[in-house]
């Protein structure tokens, strides 16, 4: 996939945006990305907008068309895509395909979510729309419940401890302190974590990413369109989207997600690189235990060793494999439809050498965006020019 | 409880007649081999706990409004089933359980040794 590049990125802060609509957030991020890409607005030939719960929580749908109108881009396909928490990653994949297919020379991928105005119970209900209702809704499963089960299964098989998982939180919250786009940067101690309220045993409040508002956007163009830009474009070496089985009981075991394994494997093959070649990763730590199982599923270490890597400091910014130097979903926030594009925003800045938590000599970066109970997943491998 | 009452309540499974894959919910095409040769069979109702958690804040659209123990059980037929443990407490992985009955179409499990 070296014929298409990222020529511009934009993002709002993730967190609470009182009195601002989803469309206003998306317009803000999109304009940043378009200005950076040095493109005239009329060169954007397609818009893909990732969003999950706007209809449920705000009553507003048709976001892609509304955004096109706000941006003054008319007469182009403007499409909302949805894949639960992977909606942003899916929007990016579709923008890449639109340019690669020759449908257009430049496409805008944007993700947005507005959630903080709603009560937590309403947000939980909205997020539960990503469950397989026929199989799992009646049992009262929630997403904290799912990841609590994942942790229990992982602990039972590999001994993954509270201490290992707390190290993920301490690292990501600390990373978030320096990221101006993060809402929950903080120095936290093991005692703070263990004193926070229990949500679904053993998951406590600190193990859960915050409900957030926010938007992120990426402009994808043909490589020749961006070759003379002031800011060097970022290569897209692989962009993979896969579907998987949604129902909880369809998983072979509960210690990981087959969709992540499949997407990462395909991405490494398509990009022609190995896990050891990756300099920086932004992955889907919707709950603290998720960072450990995701990193194992992506093939960075063998199963059962993710907790050890975190505890030994190997995933710190200056470690063997920096994971979530942005603060991840835990500290940056998780405006669901925007998250996948927010990860790309972070990795692009790492590859440009302009990240507030810069990983030294970062040349190849990876993003991972997981939807629902593993029903959809996107993985991207990006490289500096 | 009589011996007959002590037998576990059975739960349906959808079994592929071609590859033997077993699904816990209604299936018309086998997700493994794409066969449409699917039979409904009854699980014998015995299995082992894979993981459990206590859901302290059930979803607003759940039919359960109090904290409960959600568990995933690997049935003897090798299919995973999610359900509730009959008491609201964590159950160690590997514990042998049986289906006690159903509530709101959710299997309720208990220890194999419990009455």
Write the secondary structure of A202-266 as one string of H (helix), E (strand) and C (coil): CEEHHHECCECEEEEEEEEEEHHHCCCCCCCCEEEEEEEEEECCCCHHHCCCCCCCHHHHHHHHH
H runs (alpha helix) in chain A: 22-37, 54-58, 63-71, 87-100, 120-127, 143-158, 162-178, 190-195, 258-271, 288-297, 306-311, 328-332, 339-352
Shared-domain flag, residues A295 and A279 = yes
User: Is A85 one of the catalytic residues?
Assistant: yes
Residues of the domain holding B94: 12-111
Which pLDDT does position B115 carry in this prediction? 52
Which pLDDT does position B3 carry in this prediction? 46
Which pLDDT does position B8 carry in this prediction? 67
Which pLDDT does position A133 carry in this prediction? 86
B90 falls within a domain: yes
CATH number at residue B79: 2.40.50.840
Q: Which helix (H) or strand (E) holds A10?
A: strand A4-11
Shared-domain flag, residues A274 and A340 = yes
Q: Which residues contact A24 (CB under 8 A, 6 or more apart)?
A: none
Shared-domain flag, residues A195 and A312 = yes
B66 falls within a domain: yes
Q: Are B24 and B107 in contact (CB under 8 A)?
A: no
Kindly determine whether residue B80 and residue A250, on different chains, have CB atoms separated by under 8 Å: yes
Rounded Cα–Cα distance for residues A330 and A326 (Å): 10
Structure tokens at A54: 């706007």
**Closest-CA residue of chain A to B107:** A139
CATH number at residue A261: 3.40.47.10
Which pLDDT does position A275 carry in this prediction? 98
Kindly determine whether residue A139 and residue B106, on different chains, have CB atoms separated by under 8 Å: yes
Kindly determine whether residue B53 and residue A203, on different chains, have CB atoms separated by under 8 Å: yes
Which residues in chain A have their CB less than 8 angstroms from residue B21's CB? none
Shared-domain flag, residues A186 and A283 = yes
B28 touches chain A (CB under 8 A): no
Which one of B29, B51, B80 makes the best mutation probe of the A interface by having the most chain A beta carbons within 10 Å?
Answer: B51
Shared-domain flag, residues A155 and A53 = no
User: Mean pLDDT in runs of 10 for chain A (385 residues)?
Assistant: 87 98 98 97 96 97 97 96 98 98 96 96 92 85 94 96 97 98 96 97 97 98 93 97 89 90 98 98 98 98 98 98 98 98 98 98 98 96 94
Number of domains in chain A: 2
Kindly determine whether residue A249 and residue B84, on different chains, have CB atoms separated by under 8 Å: no
Q: Which residues contact A195 (CB under 8 A, 6 or more apart)?
A: none
Among the listed residues A219, A204, A102, the one whose alpha carbon sits nearest the alpha carbon of residue A162? A204
- Which member of A134, A135, A142 has the closest CB to residue B59? A142
Q: Which residues contact B20 (CB under 8 A, 6 or more apart)?
A: none
B34 falls within a domain: yes
Rounded Cα–Cα distance for residues A240 and A242 (Å): 7
CB atoms within 10 A of CB B107: 27
Shared-domain flag, residues A222 and A290 = no
Kindly determine whether residue A247 and residue B24, on different chains, have CB atoms separated by under 8 Å: yes
Q: Which residues contact B17 (CB under 8 A, 6 or more apart)?
A: B35, B37, B38, B39
Residues of the domain holding A70: 4-119+212-234
Kindly determine whether residue A139 and residue B94, on different chains, have CB atoms separated by under 8 Å: no
B89 touches chain A (CB under 8 A): no
**Closest-CA residue of chain B to A252:** B80
- Which member of A122, A201, A245 has the closest CB to residue B54? A201
- Which member of A124, A202, A248 has the closest CB to residue B82? A248
Among the listed residues A98, A139, A110, the one whose alpha carbon sits nearest the alpha carbon of residue B70? A139
Q: B18 vs chain A: nearest CA distance in angstroms?
A: 18
Q: B57 vs chain A: nearest CA distance in angstroms?
A: 7
Number of domains in chain B: 1
Which pLDDT does position B114 carry in this prediction? 63
Shared-domain flag, residues A138 and A262 = yes
Tell me whether strands A46-50 and A78-81 are parallel, antiparallel or unpaired: parallel
Shared-domain flag, residues A102 and A177 = no
Which pLDDT does position B6 carry in this prediction? 52
Kindly determine whether residue A145 and residue B94, on different chains, have CB atoms separated by under 8 Å: no
Which pLDDT does position B29 carry in this prediction? 96
Catalytic residue chosen out of the listed positions A154, A251, A284, A334? A334
User: Is A334 one of the catalytic residues?
Assistant: yes
B38 touches chain A (CB under 8 A): no
- In chain B, which residues have pLDDT < 50? 1-5
Kindly determine whether residue A254 and residue B55, on different chains, have CB atoms separated by under 8 Å: no
B84 falls within a domain: yes
């Amino acid at each position: 996939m070296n014929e298409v590049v990222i020529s511009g990125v934009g993002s709002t802060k993730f967190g609470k945006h009182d009195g601002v609509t989803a469309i206003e957030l998306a317009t803000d991020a999109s304009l940043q990305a378009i200005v950076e890409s040095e493109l005239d607005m009329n060169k954007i030939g397609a818009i893909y907008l990732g969003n999950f719960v706007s209809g449920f929580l705000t009553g507003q749908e048709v976001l892609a068309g509304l955004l096109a109108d706000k941006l003054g881009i008319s007469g182009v396909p403007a499409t909302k895509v949805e894949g639960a928490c992977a909606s942003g990653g899916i929007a990016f994949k579709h923008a890449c395909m639109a340019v690669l297919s020759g449908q257009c020379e430049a496409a805008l991928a944007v993700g947005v979510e507005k959630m903080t105005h709603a009560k937590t119970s309403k947000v939980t209900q909205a997020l539960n729309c990503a469950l397989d209702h026929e199989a799992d809704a009646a049992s009262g499963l929630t997403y904290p419940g799912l990841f609590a089960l994942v942790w229990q299964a992982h602990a039972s098989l590999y001994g993954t401890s509270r201490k290992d998982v707390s190290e993920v939180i301490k690292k990501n919250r600390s990373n978030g302190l320096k990221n101006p786009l993060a809402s929950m940067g903080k120095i936290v101690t093991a005692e703070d974590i263990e004193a926070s309220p229990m949500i679904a045993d053993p998951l406590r409040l600190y193990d859960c990413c915050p409900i957030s508002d926010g938007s992120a956007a990426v402009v994808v163009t043909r490589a020749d369109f961006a070759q003379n830009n002031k800011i060097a474009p970022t290569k897209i070496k692989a962009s993979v989207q896969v579907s998987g089985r949604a129902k909880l009981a369809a998983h072979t075991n509960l210690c990981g997600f087959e969709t992540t394994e499949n997407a990462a494997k395909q991405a490494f093959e398509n990009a022609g690189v190995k896990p050891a070649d990756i300099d920086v990763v932004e992955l889907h730590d919707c709950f603290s235990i998720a960072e450990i199982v995701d990193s194992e599923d992506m093939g960075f270490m063998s199963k059962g060793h993710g907790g050890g890597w975190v505890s030994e400091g190997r995933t710190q910014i200056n470690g063997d494999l920096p994971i979530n130097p942005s603060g991840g979903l835990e500290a940056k926030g998780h405006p669901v439809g925007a998250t996948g594009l927010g990860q790309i925003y972070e990795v692009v800045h790492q590859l440009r050498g302009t990240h507030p938590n810069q990983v030294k000599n970062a040349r190849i970066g990876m993003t991972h965006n997981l939807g629902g109970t593993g029903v959809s997943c996107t993985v991207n491998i990006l490289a500096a020019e | 409880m009589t011996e007959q009452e002590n037998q576990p309540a059975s739960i349906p499974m959808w079994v592929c007649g071609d590859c033997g894959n077993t699904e816990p919910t209604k299936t018309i095409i086998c997700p493994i081999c794409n066969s449409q040769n699917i039979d409904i069979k009854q699980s014998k109702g015995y299995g082992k706990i894979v993981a459990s958690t206590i859901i302290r804040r059930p979803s607003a659209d759940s039919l359960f409004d109090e904290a409960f123990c959600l568990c995933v059980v690997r049935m003897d037929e090798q299919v995973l089933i999610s359900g509730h443990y009959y008491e609201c407490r964590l159950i160690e992985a590997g514990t042998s359980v049986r289906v006690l009955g159903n509530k709101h179409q959710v299997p309720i499990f208990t220890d194999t040794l419990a009455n």
